[in-house]
Homo-oligomer: A and B are copies of this chain.
Amino acid sequence: MMNIAVLVSGGGTNLQAILDSERRGENPNGKVTLVVASKPGVYALERAANFGVETAVVRRKDYDSSEAFDAALLGVLREHNINLVVLAGFLSVLGPSVIAAYPNRILNVHPSLIPSFCGPGYYGLKVHEEALKRGVKVTGATVHFVNEVCDGGPILLQKAVEVLPDDTPETLQKRVMEQAEWKLLPKAIAMVCSGEV
């Protein structure tokens, strides 16, 4: 049984998809036992509480250095005996010590078909803005393992999503979440927990 920590920064819709999947019994080999937010007051913390999951807030600006922030985050993860870390819209960057502590045990979801529209600077709405600017007709989402290269770790799952003629970055972001991210992330977590990958 793997203890899963989900790291969030906002509304937590990806977290909700993960919790809903767990409730439906789709991940018999894992359980979300901790939600870590990068700032207090975000709605994801409320979703976690509603589900009876413990929460923590680890805020970058509370620490003098990124090393101290990493150490604090790692401390919280170890305290809860976390085996798998899931980045679900976590906007702080994980340092090398955290990545080294969880080799092939950190998952991230990225809102494009990597290697398109990824790397430093590509996060959130910016990804969809760039996709629309290039005029692509197909985009999607990717779940990958996190390593030391930004968006460069091994790909676990990808799903394509159609771009529509009237799309704005906002409508495209919503469709990619609904059609791809919310489906891929719980599936990827269950695959890792089952030992399938």
Binding site for B on A (CB under 8 A): 113-117, 134-138, 140, 154-155, 157-160
Chain B residue nearest to A159 (CB atoms) is: B138
Q: Is the CB of B116 within 8 A of A138?
A: no
Q: How many Å lie between the Cα of A157 and that of B138 in the bound state? A: 9
Q: How many Å lie between the Cα of A155 and that of B115 in the bound state? A: 17
- A140 partner residues in chain B, CB cutoff 8 A: 138, 160
Q: Is the CB of B135 within 8 A of A113?
A: no
Q: Which of B115, B117, B134, B138 contacts A160 (CB 8 A)?
A: B138
Q: Is the CB of B138 within 8 A of A113?
A: yes
Chain B residue nearest to A114 (CB atoms) is: B136
Q: Is the CB of A134 within 8 A of B115?
A: yes
Q: Which of B113, B157, B159 contacts A113 (CB 8 A)?
A: B113
Q: Is the CB of B115 within 8 A of A137?
A: no
Beyond A115-B116, A134-B155, A136-B158, 16 additional contacts (C-beta under 8 Å) are A113-B113, A113-B136, A113-B138, A114-B134, A114-B136, A115-B117, A115-B134, A116-B116, A135-B154, A135-B155, A136-B155, A137-B155, A137-B157, A137-B158, A138-B140, A160-B160
Chain B residue nearest to A153 (CB atoms) is: B135
Q: Which of B113, B137, B154 contacts A116 (CB 8 A)?
A: B113
Q: How many Å lie between the Cα of A72 and that of B117 in the bound state? A: 39
Chain B residue nearest to A141 (CB atoms) is: B138
Q: How many Å lie between the Cα of A117 and that of B135 in the bound state? A: 16
Q: Which of B114, B117, B138, B154 contacts A158 (CB 8 A)?
A: B138
Sorted from nearest, which 3 A-B pairs have the closest CB atoms?
A160-B160, A137-B158, A138-B158
Chain B residue nearest to A140 (CB atoms) is: B138
Taking the closest CB of chain B, its distance from the CB of A130, in whole angstroms, is: 9
